[in-house]
Structure 1
Amino acid sequence: MERRAFIKASMALAAWCGVPAMSTLFTRSAEAAEANVADGGELPFDFNALKKMAKDLADKPYGGAPQPLPKTLAELTPQAYNAIQYDHAHSLWNGLPDRQLDVELFHVGMGFKRRVRMYSVDPVKHMAREIHFRPELFNYHDAGVDTKQLEGFSNLGFAGFKVNKAPELTRRDVVSFLGASYFRAVDDTYQYGLSARGVAVDTFTDQPEEFPDFTAFWFDTPKPGDTTFTVYALLDGMSITGAYKFVIHCEPTRVVMEIENHLHAREDIKQLGISPMTSMFSCGTSERGRCDTIHPQIHDSDRLEMWTGNGEWICRPLNNPQSLQFNAFSDNSPKGFGLLQLDHDFDNYQDVIGWYNKRPSLWVEPVGDWGKGAVNLMEIPTTGETLDNVVCFWQPEKPVKSGAEFSFSYKLYWSSEPPHRSPLANVLATRTGMGGFPEGWAPGENYPQVWARRFAIDFVGGELKAFADKGIEPVINVSHGKIKNIEILYVQPFDGYRILFDWYPDSDSVAPVELRMFLRNGQTALSETWLYQYFPPAPEKRKYIDDRKMTK
């Protein structure tokens, strides 16, 4: 996935069901054109109508690839595409009194071939007007676009939209929907990071992944002074259609989205992903072998956090593996999960381009009972920071058959800190390095050169200090190999505890090592559960070099 431009945007132009004929939709009102950017004729609209539209669409064949764009748009470079800016004077809610939010649209072009239709809705009258593409809505600057080629393309549509927030209504966007069903939001740092999607289809199966598109959006006109707005979306893909309702709260320090979807399967789906999110993890506090960079860390997210249906809190630090890895964490009625970015210290990144210390976390809070399924995590090897290489989503247990209908409701929290954390001690950081000897020493004459891998997991918060005198016991489970040399250290600089242990191989296997640990006192759990996946090197690489015996 191309992070910077979402090149995997649209793959097909759908046949529209339940939508009036194009001739009707393109009937223009001169008065509306003068008064409002929405220049189409009035049409009835509400969420029930959209749900029927999605259902009817699923009964028809998928429309196939999008129609070609004019050459001047299809051949745009990323730099030229970014030069095209929406004209602030034509923003959707430009005339609204006490305007706190406003909508601006993205131009089609480059990899954004899907022609997305946009509508402005009067929520009182339940009437919608379409916004038709016309060049005067944009400033082309030095993009080199030949606008004469755009004449006659009244159905060109748009690529997506962004929402700006007061007091900088022409400069600060807080929400962006662009490409396929991708969307993002920011917290009060105004720094975008990971992305969400409307749905994921066959992310990790024996057939190519499908990227359904949001093909149309309807915007309820907000009341004066509102910092909440509602947008509806129609989803269309080869295997699935859907009707979505987003109630988006643009709060002072975060964005909260209340999402309701109604999905219809056109075909059998091997793997359906609900509330999917994509992020980037190049390197963090452990396993830096694939990260050749001047920066101490590079990642949009540092962990997968899960609050399971039985109340257990689980922290799974992210990896940049040597080969693609897929893990499924089974659950029943999950309370929440998300990809989190909890390290906001600039010194730990030293990055003035990506500003990874400012990137938000994304937390999913299911509404209602989602039943049995699994939180799925896919990690893809990467040598840089330009590709999203982490995918996470909820997969329902039951397989999806053609003709099936299902609905999910949930909340998304885009914020520096998730809305919920374990009241027990939380994982602060995970570190790994060579082991098999006391901390502060090295393999050599005083200690056998027996290869091992050391792990250091830092815990903070909870009641660890209160139980220090009573005894803190690390409970460690490992899929293969042996655990030795366990130590518990209080670390004053972060006012927490570091658990040290060494993993020793008991075979030549290079299969991933699944590690699991939590802290307890007697029968009292003191921490959330730490999970980790370690990839041992080949046997011939399990050697130490005694630097006192190094030769040319």
Structure 2
Amino acid sequence: MKSRSTLLAAVLLAALVLIGLRLIPGWGGFEPSAVVHESTTNASEPRNSPFADALQGPPPSPEAVGRELAGWLADGREGLPPLLLDRARTPPPAEGSALAPALEAALGELGYDDYRRIEYRREASLWRDGGPFRLQFFHPGSIHTDQVRIHAVEGDRVERVRFTPELYQYWGDEDLSAALEGVDLDFAGLRINHPLNHPELWDEVAVFLGASYFRLLGRGHVYGISGRGVAVHTTRGGREEFPGFREFWVLRPDEGVNTGGSGDSGALEAPSGLHLFALLDGASVTGAYRFHLIPGSPTTMEVDAHLFVQRPVEQLGLAPLTSMFLTGPATAPGVDDFRPRIHDSDGLLTLSGEGEWVWRPLSNGPGDRVTSIPVTEPRGFGLAQRDRDFSNYLDLEARYHDRPSLWVEMLEGDWGTGHVELLELETDSEFADNIVAFWEPEGGAGAGEEFRVRYRLHTFDGRLEAQHLPQVEETRIGSARLPGVAPSGEVDARRFVVDFHRADGESPPDLEGVEVVYRASSGQVSDVRAELLPNGVGWRATFVLTPDPGEPSELGLFLRRGGEPLTETWAYRWIPDPRDASSDR
């Protein structure tokens, strides 16, 4: 299947999760890593761009771009400034010296243990002298050989952040440190630290590393789900591409830390946040980005992206999210593991312009699945980790119960008519990011087209603040037969159980006037009923599906009262499992 290139990249991502494995001061999370990708353009050579005629003279210098950015923010202007857009339309050849082949090979061949021993010196953090943020930078090497140039902007001063071996501790590899002296290198990515959980601990709040991947943390979270700048040909079209951020400008805030703290945690705030601007470079798509990061509970990051299509793209993915789902209660038994659940996210949530919330639990097989989910006048979508109960994971190291959920609030721009594309790759490893979701505009994109979108990312726990309807907390599937009773027909009927929990503070549930509204694209549905859950937490909807032999079925249901939705909508694609004669899926 075409999408297997995504899984290959994700497996390499997961391998480096292990490379980056270390406790983070304050809460014991994991240092993130990102997908290795094959370069899709030679940055050292000019390209044939359909936008070349729009440029008058040479591309603007990084210093000129940085000064314009500072003035742009000082004036309180929205959007992306002209010089940054000019530099994105036709990216200039990469600057800097080419590495000697032997040194380039030495960095690329760094193994697990060697790369892990290269540690950034905390005392070398940029902006350590004051303010609400500190920056650290990833060493190039191992699977992260593509270099990213980073500029720090303070007022009207724009300076390239220079790589030097003195920024790192090379535990046991002093020869590499010596070989890198005086070499014109850039970084693999950057890490943003902030007193997120405690005023005296500088926790990681965001990381940009590998292609266009990034990760965000809210208060109390550990790394899980990733965001991405853009997706190209993920489930169809030509060979999948991974455009990458190749240049950043990070603007130092002029504010001090708010020492009043936030809530009960005593953690500090940065009310105006941190602004970053970036250039994206790829063979088919280039672009300019503005990121506005505000840490907290939730952490939010507003993204303003302007994309330039350099050559025809059959499938363009906007605001992509990447996650992992190995096993959960709705999946077939067979994973030999003491942990009941193993996943970074357990479902996809969408919101339409009519206010319909739809929850689709994630799956891991049988086979790879691609689902195109139409959403009328979309307002947002996201991948969520709803179950926050440690007893349902039992993993003290991975802390899956503390993984963040991530919501894309679609604000404005060229989203167009389209759908949410969901890719679920079958995997047997928790170290493979096998889930991808993004908005896909209809019709692809032609060379010379431009797309501008603005959206806001929100970290959250089990419930999005804007979601007030009772939401799905459990999906369970099993045989409709009683234990010990032999099948009575050609196929085994399946019992579905869907539990909806009300939001805190909402009225206790009752059954008066409640009806179950359901649909099934194939098979026969019977024994449909609604029941109350114990302790007033919500409702249970349950039904039996007798499937058509060998046929999948698209299922959906919600509870209604008085003609109005009482709950969000549950959606699920049931697929007969060829690995199990009883189709226990």
Smaller-chain TM-score range?
Answer: 0.7 to 0.9
Q: How does 1:172-251 map to 2 (within 5 A)?
A: 172-226=203-257, 227=270, 228-251=273-296
Deviations 1:152-208 (A, max 9, x none): 421x10000101112577752111111001000111124111000000000011422
Q: Which residue of 1 aligns with 2:558?
A: 518
Deviations 1:98-152 (A, max 9, x none): x221000000000001111010112x42x42111211111111235652232134
Q: Does 1:451 align with 2:451?
A: no
For the residues of structure 1 that align with 2:542 and 2:524, how far apart are their CA atoms?
Answer: 14
Q: Does 1:389 align with 2:455?
A: no
Residue of structure 2 aligned with 1:403, choices 428, 435, 448: 448
Q: Tell me: CA distance 1:94–1:424, structure 2 relative to 1, closer, same or farther (3 Å).
A: closer
Instruction: Give 1:524 shift.
Output: 2.3
Instruction: Give 1:457 shift.
Output: 0.3
Q: Does 1:263 align with 2:313?
A: no
Unaligned segments of structure 2, at least 5 residues? 1-9, 18-32, 47-54, 70-80, 258-269
Instruction: Give 1:491 shift.
Output: 1.9
Q: How does 1:344-363 map to 2 (within 5 A)?
A: 344-363=388-407
| AA at the equivalent of 1:327 | T
Q: Tell me the secondary structure at the aligned position of residue 392 of structure 1.
A: strand
Q: Tell me the secondary structure at the aligned position of residue 54 of structure 1.
A: helix
| AA at the equivalent of 1:139 | Q
Q: Tell me the secondary structure at the aligned position of residue 278 of structure 1.
A: strand
Instruction: Give 1:387 shift.
Output: 0.3
| AA at the equivalent of 1:307 | L
| AA at the equivalent of 1:487 | R
| AA at the equivalent of 1:223 | D
For the residues of structure 1 that align with 2:206 and 2:569, how far apart are their CA atoms?
Answer: 33
For the residues of structure 1 that align with 2:583 and 2:428, how far apart are their CA atoms?
Answer: 25
Q: Does the aligned pair in 2 maintain the 1:454–1:502 contact within 8 Å?
A: yes
Instruction: Give 1:214 shift.
Output: 0.3
Q: Does 1:533 align with 2:573?
A: yes
For the residues of structure 2 that align with 1:522 and 1:75, how far apart are their CA atoms?
Answer: 65
For the residues of structure 1 that align with 2:464 and 2:583, how far apart are their CA atoms?
Answer: 45
Q: Does 1:92 align with 2:126?
A: yes
Q: Tell me: CA distance 1:258–1:492, structure 2 relative to 1, closer, same or farther (3 Å).
A: same
Q: Which residue of 1 aligns with 2:166?
A: 136
Q: Which residue of 2 aligns with 1:424?
A: 469
Q: Does the aligned pair in 2 maintain the 1:464–1:526 contact within 8 Å?
A: no
For the residues of structure 1 that align with 2:232 and 2:334, how far apart are their CA atoms?
Answer: 29
Q: Does the aligned pair in 1 maintain the 2:509–2:537 contact within 8 Å?
A: no
Residue of structure 2 aligned with 1:480, choices 517, 522, 529: 522
Unaligned segments of structure 1, at least 5 residues? 26-39, 545-552
| AA at the equivalent of 1:90 | A
For the residues of structure 2 that align with 1:421 and 1:442, how far apart are their CA atoms?
Answer: 46
For the residues of structure 2 that align with 1:366 and 1:461, how far apart are their CA atoms?
Answer: 25
Q: Tell me the secondary structure at the aligned position of residue 386 of structure 1.
A: coil
| AA at the equivalent of 1:535 | I
Q: Tell me the secondary structure at the aligned position of residue 172 of structure 1.
A: strand
| AA at the equivalent of 1:235 | L
Residue of structure 1 aligned with 2:328, choices 281, 284, 297: 284
| AA at the equivalent of 1:488 | A
Q: Does 1:147 align with 2:177?
A: yes
For the residues of structure 1 that align with 2:386 and 2:397, how far apart are their CA atoms?
Answer: 19
Q: Tell me the secondary structure at the aligned position of residue 115 of structure 2.
A: helix
Instruction: Give 1:44 shift.
Output: 3.9
Q: Does the aligned pair in 2 maintain the 1:45–1:128 contact within 8 Å?
A: no
Instruction: Give 1:405 shift.
Output: 1.1
Q: Tell me: CA distance 1:142–1:290, structure 2 relative to 1, closer, same or farther (3 Å).
A: farther
Q: Which residue of 1 aligns with 2:136?
A: 104
Q: Does 1:470 align with 2:512?
A: yes
Q: Does the aligned pair in 1 maintain the 2:509–2:536 contact within 8 Å?
A: no
Structure with higher Rg: it is 1
For the residues of structure 2 that align with 1:285 and 1:355, how far apart are their CA atoms?
Answer: 18
Q: Tell me: CA distance 1:145–1:196, structure 2 relative to 1, closer, same or farther (3 Å).
A: farther
| AA at the equivalent of 2:498 | I
What is the number of equivalent residue pairs in this alignment? 513
Q: Tell me the secondary structure at the aligned position of residue 391 of structure 1.
A: strand
Q: Tell me: CA distance 1:174–1:61, structure 2 relative to 1, closer, same or farther (3 Å).
A: closer
Q: TM-score, normalised by structure 2?
A: 0.81
For the residues of structure 2 that align with 1:543 and 1:527, how far apart are their CA atoms?
Answer: 29
For the residues of structure 1 that align with 2:444 and 2:58, how far apart are their CA atoms?
Answer: 36
Deviations 1:502-542 (A, max 9, x none): 11123x22x42110111113422211110001112459923
Q: Tell me the secondary structure at the aligned position of residue 541 of structure 1.
A: coil
Q: Tell me: CA distance 1:170–1:472, structure 2 relative to 1, closer, same or farther (3 Å).
A: closer
Q: Does the aligned pair in 2 maintain the 1:218–1:231 contact within 8 Å?
A: yes
Q: Does 1:80 align with 2:114?
A: yes
Instruction: Give 1:76 shift.
Output: 1.1
| AA at the equivalent of 1:455 | F
Q: Tell me: CA distance 1:21–1:540, structure 2 relative to 1, closer, same or farther (3 Å).
A: closer
Deviations 1:377-424 (A, max 9, x none): 000001120000000001112420001112000000122245444332
Q: Does 1:377 align with 2:422?
A: yes
Percent sequence identity over aligned pairs: 34
Instruction: Give 1:374 shift.
Output: 0.7
Q: Tell me: CA distance 1:432–1:543, structure 2 relative to 1, closer, same or farther (3 Å).
A: closer
